[in-house]
Chain A
Amino acid sequence: MPLMELKNVCTFYGNIQALRDISLSVEEGEIVTLIGANGAGKSTTLMSICGITSIRSGQILLDGEDISHLSPHKIVSRGLSQVPEGRRIFPQLTVLENLDMGAFLRDDKELVKIDLDEVFEIFPRLAERRNQPGGTLSGGEQQMLAISRALMARPRILLLDEPSLGLAPIIVHNIFEIIKRINTERKTTIFLVEQNANMALKIANKGYVLQNGVIKMADSAEKLLQNAEVRKAYLGL
Chain B
Amino acid sequence: MTRKLVIKEVLASLVSMLWFSVLLFPFMVMKVNVASGVAQIRFRWAAMPVIAIAAFVLSFLWRRALIWNEHRGDKLSTSSPFALARAFIQKALSKKPVRRTSLLVLLALVAVYPYALGMYHTNIMITALIYVILALGLNIVVGLGGLLNLGYAAFFAFGAYTYGLLWKYAGPAFVSAGINTGWIFWIALPLAGIIAVIFGILLSLPVLRLRGDYLAIITLAFGEIVRMVLQNSSAVTGGATGISLIPRPWLFNLRLPPRQAATYIYYIVLILVIFTIFVVRRIEDSRVGRALEAMREDEIACEAMGIDLVRNKLATFALGAFWAGIAGVVLAAQTTYINPDSFTLWESIMVLMAIVIGGTGSIPGAIGGALILKLLPEYFRPLAQYRMLIYGIAMIIIIIFKPDGLIPRNRKKYTFVEKVAQDGKAEVQA
User: Which residues on A are within 8 Å of B, measured CB to CB?
Assistant: 50-52, 71-73, 75-77, 81-84, 88-94, 96-97, 100-102, 104-105, 130-131, 133, 149-150, 153
Contact = CB atoms under 8 A, between A and B. Distances in A.
Interface residues of B, number: 24
The prevalent SS among residues of B at the interface is helix
Given A96-B430, A130-B416, A131-B414, A88 B293 contact: no
Contacts of B415: 131
Interface string B42-55: 00000000000000
Nearest to B302: A101
Given A100-B290, A101-B290, A104-B291, A72 B303 contact: yes
B306 A73 contact: yes
Interface string B405-430: 00000010111100000000000001
B300 A76 contact: no
B294 A90 contact: yes
Nearest to B301: A88
A122 B115 CA distance: 62
B213 interface: no
B303 A52 contact: yes
B306 to A, nearest CB: 3
Interface string B310-324: 100000000000000
Given A90-B298, A92-B293, A93-B297, A104 B287 contact: yes
Contacts of A52: 300, 303-304
7 contacts: A73-B307, A88-B300, A89-B298, A96-B430, A104-B305, A130-B430, A149-B305
A50 B413 contact: no
The prevalent SS among residues of A at the interface is mixed
Task: Among A71, A72, A101, find the residue whose CB has the most chain B CB atoms closer than 10 A.
Answer: A101
Contacts of A89: 298, 301
Given A90-B298, A92-B293, A92-B297, A76 B411 contact: no
B421 to A, nearest CB: 15
B403 to A, nearest CB: 15
Given A77-B306, A96-B414, 18 more contacts: A52-B303, A71-B310, A72-B303, A73-B303, A76-B306, A88-B298, A88-B301, A90-B294, A90-B297, A93-B290, A94-B414, A100-B287, A101-B290, A104-B307, A131-B416, A149-B305, A150-B304, A153-B306
Given A90-B297, A101-B291, A50 B303 contact: yes
Nearest to A78: B306
B205 to A, nearest CB: 16
Contact of A90 (B287, B293, B414): B293
A92 B294 CA distance: 9
A101 B304 CA distance: 10
Contacts of A101: 290-291, 294, 302, 305, 307
Contacts of A93: 290, 293-294, 297
Nearest to B308: A73
A110 to B, nearest CB: 15
Contact of B305 (A76, A92, A94, A133): A76
A185 to B, nearest CB: 22
Contacts of B298: 88-90
Task: Among B293, B298, B413, find the residue whose CB has the most chain A CB atoms closer than 10 A.
Answer: B298
Contacts of B308: 71, 73
A194 B46 CA distance: 76
A90 B430 CA distance: 20
Contacts of B413: 131
Interface string B159-200: 000000000000000000000000000000000000000000
